Amino acid sequence: MDKLESLYGLLTGGKSASAGGNAAKSAADTFEDGPDTISLVVLSIGKRVIATAVENTEGVVDCPRITPLPGAPDAILGVVSIRGRITLVLDASLEANRDAPKHRLILLRGEFQLGLLADHVQGVVSLDANEMRQIPEKRSGRRLLGGPAGGVPEIRLARSYFKYGGRKVPLLDLELVSQLSN
């Protein structure tokens, strides 16, 4: 339990979760996840809400000043240094909410040295894997992850979604993220 609460505190930056909707459960519920249950961090970026798997996250920190990275893919805002590690900052909202006050960074696990920018973390939810739905191919890009129509090539970062607080929340797919470098 302690371990989970630490994780929860880390993810939410020690702030209380503002998890809304029926799908949201408490951290204690998450601790009792069964084999077909997945835990997701739900976060908001501007008007958008997206999620990423708890198992793919390392923690949440305040985002320092971002150094722009010339030539980077559109979704990469720049780089920061977190605990001495150079981290690329991923803005899943693309340019739609670039002016929104994003000040939290969800550090993602893996070799990609990646952090996901967010306005704030809503909470950790636990849900049955069967609740996940596939996003149709043509709708899996910026329409669900933000960004206005036209001008910017579509960047597909999610393949599935779930219902949360009455809205469809796309789940960040790290395999798709890894293709950003191509």
Partner 1 sequence: MMDKALLSDYLSESEQLLDTLSSDLDLLIERAKKSRESKDSNRGNDESTVETVNRVFRSVHSLKGLMGMMGLKELQALAHRFESALDDVRLGKLRLNPELAAIMQDVTESTIALYASEALRLQGNGERQPAVTRGMTRLGSLLDNLASLPRTKSNKGSSSLASLRLSDQEIGLLSPYERHRIGENLNAGKAFFEICVEFQVNAIDSRYRALGAALEDRGELIATLPGKSTDKQSIGLKLILAGKLKEGEIEGLVRRFGGTVDRIGPSSWRRAGAVIKGAGRRKPDHDKGRDAREVRAGAVGPNGPSAASVGGAVKKGAEAAAKDSPVLPEADEGALSEFQTVVAPSTAEDSIQSLSQSVRVDLSHIDEVSGLAHELYIEVERLSWMAGRMMQLTQVGPKERFDLKQSSRRIERRFLELEERLVEFRMVSLAQTFSKAGRLAERLARDLGKKVEVTLAGRGTQIDKMIVDQIGGPIYHVLRNAIDHGIEPAAERITAGKPEAGSIRIEAALEGTRAIISISDDGRGIDPDKVLQRAIAIGAVAGDEQWSKEEILRLIFSPGFSTARQLSAVSGRGVGLSDVERVMYGLGGEIRVASETGKGCRFELSVPTTLVMISAFIVGAAGWRYAINVGQIIELVYAGAKDVVGTDGKRTIKWRGSSVPLVELNYLLGLGGARPLPPQPRGRGRVHGNHGEIGDISGINRDGSMFEEQADFAHSQWAHRNSDRPAMRLPPKTRDNRVPAFITRFADRYIAVAVERFEDQREIIVKSLGPLARNIRGIAGAVDLEGGEVALVLDLAGLLMMRSIRL
CB 34 to partner 1: min, Å = 28
Q: Is the CA virtual torsion 78, 84, 85, 89 positive or negative?
A: negative
* In the complex, minimum distance from the CB of residue 89 to partner 1, in angstroms, rounded to a whole number: 11
Nearest to 69 by CA among 58, 57, 59, 78: 78
Distance CA 51, CA 121 (A): 10
Nearer to partner 1, 10 or 72 (CB): 72
CB of 112 vs partner 1, minimal distance in Å: 5
**71 vs 136, which CB is nearer to partner 1?**
71
Of 171 and 177, which CB lies nearer to partner 1 in the complex structure? 177
* Coil, helix or strand at residue 1: coil
Least Å distance, CB 17 to partner 1, is: 27
Q: How far is the CB of 111 from partner 1 (least distance, A)?
A: 6
- 8 phi and psi angles, rounded to 5 deg: -65, -45
Q: Which C-beta is closer to partner 1: that of 80 or that of 124?
A: 80
Secondary-structure percent of the chain, ordered helix, strand, coil, rounded to 5: 25, 40, 40
User: Interface residues with partner 1 (CB under 8 A)?
Assistant: 64-65, 67-73, 76, 79-81, 84-86, 88, 111-114, 177-178, 180-182
Closer to partner 1 at the Cβ: 35 or 70? 70
Residues pairing with 108 in the sheet: 57
Task: Give 53 or 79: the residue with its C-beta nearer to partner 1.
Answer: 79
Taking Cα atoms as reference points, which of 23, 3, 56, 1 lies closest to residue 123? 23
CB neighbour list of residue 31: distance below 8 Å, 6 or more residues apart:
1, 4
Q: For the chain, what's the residue count? A: 182
User: Least Å distance between CB 127 and partner 1?
Assistant: 29
